[in-house]
């Protein structure tokens, strides 16, 4: 099949699926950041929580993604709509790198800097917002970057529960033994992942504290 003909036939559909894909990933990432960063701060503050929190996130990470989507289907409210299931599962996957990097970043702030901040009479909140988070931002972004790339990939599997996105093409292509159709899902997904990786790496480098 000629590329041009293929694109003219499926171009609109691919574009639509890409938007759906971006939407799923973006929502899942927002949720994962909103949950993961505070958990990471908690882990850095209370090291004894590190095992239970990172352990749970680790377990979520090891559940095969297809199974995780399946497990979430019968959950009330979540299971009512496929995109909810997809977003919840993707959020769970994205948590581990975000929690881990936030905790690493905050614990990695130079002790003398933290001590100086306390001794200057900064409150715990000021130390967190003005010193610790700014200094660990690049590490946090690195975690978000890993999580985003991962989520873009896993989100293709979410099509199995009918959430839409680029995975639709892949599953359809697999069922019809139609390689171009698989490519129509795989290539835009790969491009999305590369773009996100590159964009976030730039941000990460920009925010890295000078030494």
Partner 1 sequence: MSSEPNHPPGNQPIIEFQKAHYQLSNGKVLLKEVNFAVPRGETLVLLGRSGAGKTTALKLINRLLEPSSGQVCVEGRSTVDWDPIALRRRIGYVIQEAGLFPHYTVEQNVSLVPRLEKWPADRTEVRLKELFALVGLDAPEFRSRYPHELSGGQRQRVGVARALAADPPILLMDEPLGALDPLTRGEVRSELHDLQKRLKKTVVIVTHDIAEGLLLGTRIGLMEAGELRGIYSPDEFLHATEPIAAAYVAQLKMIQEAGEQK
Q: How far is the CB of 142 from partner 1 (least distance, A)?
A: 17
> Which residue's CB is nearer to partner 1, number 73 or number 207?
207
CB of 112 to partner 1, least distance (A): 4
Q: In whole angstroms, how close is the CB of 100 to partner 1 at the nearest point?
A: 22
Q: Do residues 55 and 103 touch, judged by C-beta distance below 8 A?
A: no
- Residues of the shown chain interacting with partner 1 in the complex, contacts defined by CB under 8 A: 110, 112-113, 115-123, 126, 131, 134-135, 209-211
Nearest distance, CB of residue 70 and partner 1, angstroms: 45
CB of 116 or CB of 176, closer to partner 1: 116
CA 181, CA 171: separation in Å to the nearest integer? 9
How far the first Cα of the chain sits from its last, in Å, is 55
- Please state the closest distance from residue 126 (CB atom) to partner 1, in A: 7
Cα 181 to Cα 172: distance, rounded to the nearest angstrom: 7
In three-state secondary structure terms, 155 is: helix
Distance separating alpha carbons of residues 106 and 131, to the nearest angstrom: 9
Closer Cβ to partner 1, 18 or 107, answer by number:
107
Using the minimum distance from each CB to partner 1, give the nearer residue, 123 or 195: 123
Take residue 175 and report the two structure tokens written for it: 């069922």
- Please tell me the distance from the alpha carbon of residue 156 to that of residue 171, in angstroms, as a whole number: 9
Give the nearer residue to partner 1 in terms of CB position, either 136 or 156. 136
């Amino acid at each position: 099949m000629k590329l041009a003909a293929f694109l003219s036939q499926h171009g609109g559909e691919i574009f639509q699926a890409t938007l759906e894909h971006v939407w799923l990933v973006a929502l899942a990432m927002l949720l994962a950041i909103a949950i993961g960063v505070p958990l990471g701060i908690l882990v850095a503050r209370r090291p004894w929580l590190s095992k239970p929190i990172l352990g749970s996130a680790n377990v979520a990470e090891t559940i095969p993604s297809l199974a995780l989507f399946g497990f979430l289907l019968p959950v009330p409210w979540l299971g009512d709509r496929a995109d909810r299931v997809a977003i919840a599962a993707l959020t769970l996957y994205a948590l581990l790198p975000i929690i881990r990097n936030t905790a690493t970043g905050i614990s990695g702030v130079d002790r003398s800097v933290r001590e100086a901040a306390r001794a200057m009479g900064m409150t715990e909140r000021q130390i967190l917002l003005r010193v610790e988070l700014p200094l660990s931002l690049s590490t946090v972004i690195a975690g978000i970057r890993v999580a985003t790339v991962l989520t873009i990939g896993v989100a293709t599997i979410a099509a199995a529960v009918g959430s839409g996105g680029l995975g639709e093409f892949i599953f359809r292509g697999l069922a019809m033994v139609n390689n171009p159709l698989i490519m129509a899902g795989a290539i835009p997904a790969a491009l999305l992942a590369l773009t996100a990786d590159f964009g976030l790496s730039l941000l990460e480098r920009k925010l890295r504290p000078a030494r």
